[in-house]
Structure 1
């Protein structure tokens, strides 16, 4: 009887380990997509835009597969305590990863529109490149905090997202001034604003992932705490 119980427990551990691996695989794909979009923004490689858009399909497929695995584990294994928190946390993390992938697709399409209008994105929107690199760093750190279940690193990501928000608002103010001074730049500036907004939201999704890491490890739901305190 103990042997059978041990086998069941071992298979359950394997299920959870595979779940974590799948999340990191999906996260790695999103990270690659964001990095490719940043490169396209600065280099003018419009050809990579199609690859970014196509890559989003794979992100969506992984989200569905991981969601199915979460449902299967809950139904078959009936996890409790920290194991249940891991499964529930993963189901929320993959939603944020999928949405980050959607935002990356918006960035790619915005870049394509700018090039099709005969411009180079890097000529416009000062600070967008830096904002994108900061958001990509948040995604990397959030995934690393999940891989190691490191609440300290997760907390750091949540703090750093505030800096991304501040930088985003600064970029928007500069672009609005730019449009007022030269109305000919309005169309391209609006595309840059769309790109910057998508980048800012990627940072938000990295923050959400980090909040789930804290929930998985400590059982604390810290979402919306700052808003409630205002």
Structure 2
């Protein structure tokens, strides 16, 4: 009986550690989502001061990634989890890497705001043209964090498919920016900076898609990376 109680105690501690690390991931996700929201707001208002704050806060995102990764490593070494518990720790470890990179994308947009803050209104027009795409990426991030909190594979699959539409929006914005460059060659240096920011937004979609794949991996026990869409759908069904 005493041995059974010890086993329950250890199991309870392990579950508490897993819950804490999941809470830390959601806290990091909330910060990254706020970073992206604030970056898009700074872009829309050409707010240099807000953009500088976003750049400064990126250090906190990086610190959270390191801390959560260290906790994942400690749990694996100490608890030697198996089956779904191991998949959960691995999914968390991979997801925080994606979140940190989304944070980098938000920082990239913030740096664009600081670089073009004092430029003519034409540049602000170019930045406004990517706002719709940015809001699309923002919704994807919000939804994938919600799906990760619930480990909802059906929601993950919907977000996974949404990346196609973000890619289409990216292609449209790139074509528009190319037209601007042809009309005014003097704008090329600034437009190249905008292109980097647009690419960063497109990558937010890719990162969200990757997190969806980690959700599917945890729930279904299948690694769906590099599979085509129909194969992923077959696994989720």
TM-score over 0.5 (shorter chain): yes
| Offset, 1:125 | 5.0
**What does residue 80 of structure 2 align with?**
78
**What does residue 46 of structure 1 align with?**
48
CA distance in 2: counterparts of 1:86 and 1:112, whole angstroms: 39
| Offset, 1:111 | 1.4
| Offset, 1:118 | 4.4
2:146 to 144, 147, 152: 144
| Offset, 1:104 | 1.1
**Contact (CA 8 Å) 1:52, 1:105: kept in 2 or not?**
yes
Structure 1 residue 67 corresponds to structure 2 residue 74: no
Structure 1 residue 195 corresponds to structure 2 residue 193: no
TM-score by length of 1: 0.95
2:15 to 13, 16, 23: 13
CA distance in 2: counterparts of 1:14 and 1:200, whole angstroms: 36
SS at match of 2:60: helix
CA distance in 2: counterparts of 1:62 and 1:120, whole angstroms: 38
- Deviating above 6 A after TM superposition, structure 1's stretches of 4 or more consecutive aligned residues are none
**Contact (CA 8 Å) 1:125, 1:189: kept in 2 or not?**
no
CA distance in 1: counterparts of 2:85 and 2:223, whole angstroms: 16
CA distance in 1: counterparts of 2:183 and 2:31, whole angstroms: 40
TM-score by length of 2: 0.92
Aligned length: 229
| Offset, 1:185 | 2.1
Structure 1 residue 101 corresponds to structure 2 residue 72: no
**Contact (CA 8 Å) 2:44, 2:127: kept in 1 or not?**
no
**What does residue 159 of structure 1 align with?**
161
**Contact (CA 8 Å) 2:52, 2:114: kept in 1 or not?**
no
**What does residue 5 of structure 2 align with?**
3
**What does residue 125 of structure 2 align with?**
123
2:31 to 29, 32, 39: 29
Which residues of structure 2 form unaligned runs of 5+? 232-237
With over 3 angstroms needed to count, the CA separation of the structure-2 counterparts of 1:148 and 1:106, relative to structure 1, is same
CA distance in 2: counterparts of 1:121 and 1:216, whole angstroms: 44
| Offset, 1:184 | 2.6
CA distance in 1: counterparts of 2:146 and 2:152, whole angstroms: 8
SS at match of 1:224: coil
| Offset, 1:5 | 0.5
**Contact (CA 8 Å) 1:125, 1:171: kept in 2 or not?**
no
**What does residue 185 of structure 1 align with?**
187
